Amino acid sequence: MNFSSKLLEDAVNEFSKLPGVGQKTALRLVLHLLNKEQEEVNQFGNTFIKLKQQIKHCSTCHNISDYSICEICTSHKRDKETICVVEDTRDVMAIENTGQYFGVYHVLGGLISPMDGVGPSDLFIDGLVARMTAGGIKEVILALSPNMEGDTTLFYLYKRLKEFNVPVTTIARGIAFGGELEYADEITLGRSIITRVPYETAMMK
């Protein structure tokens, strides 16, 4: 692409770095922003600067939050004895949208993936083990995407959690293998949480 302005080119290049945004789309978005009032563009830019500077991760469950402990962890309405383990904040949002889960979460921050060089120590697994060690947990639900990385992580977590003698369940496989939790529709995801099964039973199938 030949640009008439270096400023324009730089802006387009920044947008092109975003996932799924090609140069043509980036140019369209940049030109759109350029036509906005200065105040609106300032607000657009400042929102992301503020996001990056001020966002926190809950010190208990590692979910993204505006506070050092998230609103789910501090809510008196949530069942603190049930922990649902998920890959990232998108899964928390997907499960919250089902309206079928009232426990708390633990966000791993990814899945074990030897191919990508992601091992257990790269994830917030020690934090989960620490919560188990602290006691008072009656069930751990492993709600991970039904793909290779999800299964590897399930297996690893199950081994780590076994010693606590707390039921470890996994969400029912209403979700097709190879899929991702965030793409499951709310009804399917909601149902798969309600009909969760002990991990060992799920693996024998």
Q: Which of residues 39-78 bind Zn ion (CB under 5 A)?
A: 58, 60-61, 63, 70, 73
- Name the residue nearer to Zn ion (CB basis): 21 or 69: 69
Sequence-distant (6+) residues with CB within 8 A of 192 are: 171, 172, 173, 174, 175, 184
Residue 37 or 66 having the CB closest to Zn ion:
66
Asked if 75 and 104 count as a contact pair (C-beta separation under 8 A), the reply is no
Closest distance of CB 205 from Zn ion, Å = 32
Residue with tokens 């050092």: 68
Beta-bridge mates of residue 173: none
* Closer Cβ to Zn ion, 110 or 179, answer by number: 110
Kindly state the smallest distance separating residue 176's Cβ from Zn ion, in Å. Answer: 29
Minimum CB separation from Zn ion for residue 97, in Å?
A: 17
For the chain, where are the E strands, in sequence order?
56-57, 64-65, 79-86, 103-107, 139-142, 168-170, 197-198
State the minimum distance, in angstroms, from the CB of residue 191 to Zn ion: 25
The binding site for Zn ion (CB under 5 A) comprises 58, 60-61, 63, 70, 73
